[in-house]
A and B are shown apart, each in its own frame.
Chain A
Amino acid sequence: MNGLNRSLQRIGAIVFKELRQLTRDRPTFGMIVMVPLIQLLLFGFAINTNVRDLPVGVVDLSHTQVARALIADLQATQVVRFSETYQTPKLGEDAIRRGQVHAVLVIPEDFGQRLQDNRPIAQWLIDGSDTMVSNALLALQQMPFASGFEAQTAVRKNTFETALFFNPERRSAVNIVPGLVAIVLTMTMVMFTSAALVRERERGNLELLITTPVHSSEIMIGKIVPYIFVGLIQMGIILGLGHLIFDVPINGRLDQLVLGVFSFISASLTLGLLISTIAKTQLQAMQLTVFLLIPSILLSGFMFPYEGMPDAAQWIAEALPATHFIRMVRAIVLRGATLDDLWPDLLWLIGFTIIGVLAAATRFKKRLD
């Protein structure tokens, strides 16, 4: 019994020491409260598996009042939002490839006749790469529609014909594998660099380094470059195995892919560097990395369609490099898009990198005060 008491006293001493240290590590203590709080609010509101307001386009070859009524009916379902109009189906397909819209409704010239004949009245051209998006659009297939001019109540089997592009079998792996490149790279790239500077500071290397002629920006760039190659190797592994095992098509050009990945790796490494100028210990760097990683997984469009999220969540998602890269990598790998089509995302990643490196170099002064 005496032995047990002594043991309890020793455990108690360690418990209280641990708690005392925890309350003195302000950032860690903050994370204990902030992580559940912010993540709960963010994801409670943001995650929505019901897809709404998908941006779609229309090619209206019939130019009739009834066609416009059809569009109004579709919009009223709140599943889609007609944001673009194209002159020809070909232009519509290009817009899907670019990622401008998820689908295009083609209303044929003989729209009126089809309505009379109880045939499908129009065709959806659908980007099948995201199965959650394509499922939502396919659900519209049997939407009842009556113009009021039919001879008898329409008993149409399908209101629309559908053409699923890029992933006709609707396999999830096709969408998940390219997105996984973004998640794995966010995880490893941010983690490597966020710990890099902090580690040198903890080990005392930095105090020596800052008395040498090396510039802060040189330290920053030197810390980033090796990991770019690490990132490219990781991308190769994921897409290579994805192609071999899960039969994920690689429709885009390799140079475009490498260039896109390169811009994302740079942005992620920069993010890590920024963290390492803020964090004081490796533990803090790790916590901040996780803090960023979770929204990168959940808000970036990797798991849930971007369009299903409320505006505020979309703004947060836009700030994350992963969101831009997921758009790019899916477009390039699955839809064969080129960077010309994706310049806003590319520009954002490059801008993020440049501003981030400058900010990190400024924050990291070669001074101790």
Chain B
Amino acid sequence: MTEFDPASNSGEWAIETVGLTRRFGDFVAVNKLDLRIPPKTIYGFLGPNGCGKSTSMRLITGLLTPSEGSVRVLGMEIPAQAEQLRRRLGYMTQKFSLYEDLTVQENLRFMAQIYNLDKHRSKQLIDQQLSRYQLNERKQRLAGALSGGQRQRLALAAATLHQPELLILDEPTSAVDPENRRDFWEKLFDLCDAGTSILVSTHYMDEAERCHGIAIMEAGVKRADGPPAQLMRDLGASVVEVDGDNLRLLKQQLSELPEIVSTAQQGTHLRVLIKEEINEPETWLRTTHPELVAQRQIHQVRPSLEDVFVHCTGGENGSARQ
């Protein structure tokens, strides 16, 4: 697996954007986005719905024209060279977008012809994709009759049929059960291992954690980026878990304290993010607010990516949403 280290990349970036901005009327969907994504890695856009993930992807593929800023993909200027990029790009939309009234095999043949793959080679590639994505037994089935997971595999098979150098996946697993999601990610790592650069958007933390690098986005702005492990290590807050009764009330009381970034109940305990300035969060809680935490157990825990996400996006409500 390639170590994600943007600084060590000497050659061309797979994707590079500088000050990328897109406005729809008064609404700024993407605001001054700077990205440098190394080739042959899986890079994730993590963010809530409507944060600008899809718009960014459309700007990168040339489906939308930037209002400001520049985009370079695989060394090509976008949108000027968008047509040239199409042959080297695989794209999977959020919604299943193959033809439901064609069979699995017919859909793949159609895509092969659209990409002008020669007849003999496309037959080979289609057979290969059918077995790689476990669709062989269903190749005569109409795509509309497939299950969510099978459709997902078919969409990925179609998007990678022409062996693109860059694969862009817009929330590919939002309609898939956990087991199929796992399988799907295994396939992505296979593709990445074979040299494909992958850009994927998600709102699942566990998926984002699998990426080599991620950008956390909110309201069109990139809040943080880097490898997930590093983001968790560098989180500007401590995390403690508090248990006991009446957690809803405790949550309400803690949320009012200025030192507390956020609180979230997880089953029988409350996960509390406390600002970095507080050196020893447990001691601080016990000494400054004994009435709240008396009789309760407090553990300091390792930050998760969700903590990072919450810290980046929800934490500074006022300044975060401009």
Contact = CB atoms under 8 A, between A and B. Distances in A.
A368 B58 CA distance: 8
Contact of B86 (A207, A213, A367, A369): A213
Contact of A204 (B79, B95, B114, B116): B95
Interface of B: 58, 61-65, 79, 83, 86-87, 89, 91, 93, 95-100, 111, 114-116
Contacts, number: 48
Interface in A339-369: 366-369
A366 B116 CA distance: 19
17 contacts: A203-B97, A204-B97, A205-B97, A206-B97, A208-B97, A208-B98, A209-B114, A211-B89, A211-B91, A213-B83, A213-B86, A213-B115, A213-B116, A367-B62, A367-B79, A369-B63, A369-B65
B311 to A, nearest CB: 33
A68 to B, nearest CB: 69
Contact of B63 (A204, A205, A214, A367): A367
B122 to A, nearest CB: 14
B100 A211 contact: no
B97 A207 contact: yes
Contacts of A367: 62-65, 79
Given A207-B63, A213-B115, 19 more contacts: A204-B97, A205-B99, A206-B97, A207-B97, A208-B97, A208-B98, A211-B61, A211-B63, A211-B86, A211-B89, A212-B114, A213-B116, A367-B62, A367-B64, A367-B65, A367-B79, A368-B58, A369-B63, A369-B64
Contacts of B65: 367, 369
A247 B34 CA distance: 75
Contact of B87 (A203, A204, A213, A369): A213
A207 B93 contact: yes
Interface of A: 203-214, 366-369
A208 B116 contact: no
Contact of A368 (B63, B111, B114): B63
Contacts of A213: 83, 86-87, 114-116
A212 B82 CA distance: 10
A208 B63 contact: no
Contacts of A366: 63
A210 B116 CA distance: 15
The 6 A-B residue pairs with the shortest CB-CB distance, nearest first, are A208-B97, A211-B91, A204-B97, A204-B95, A213-B86, A368-B63
Nearest to B91: A211
B100 A203 contact: yes
A207 B170 CA distance: 12
Nearest to B159: A208
B100 to A, nearest CB: 7
Contacts of A207: 63, 93, 95, 97
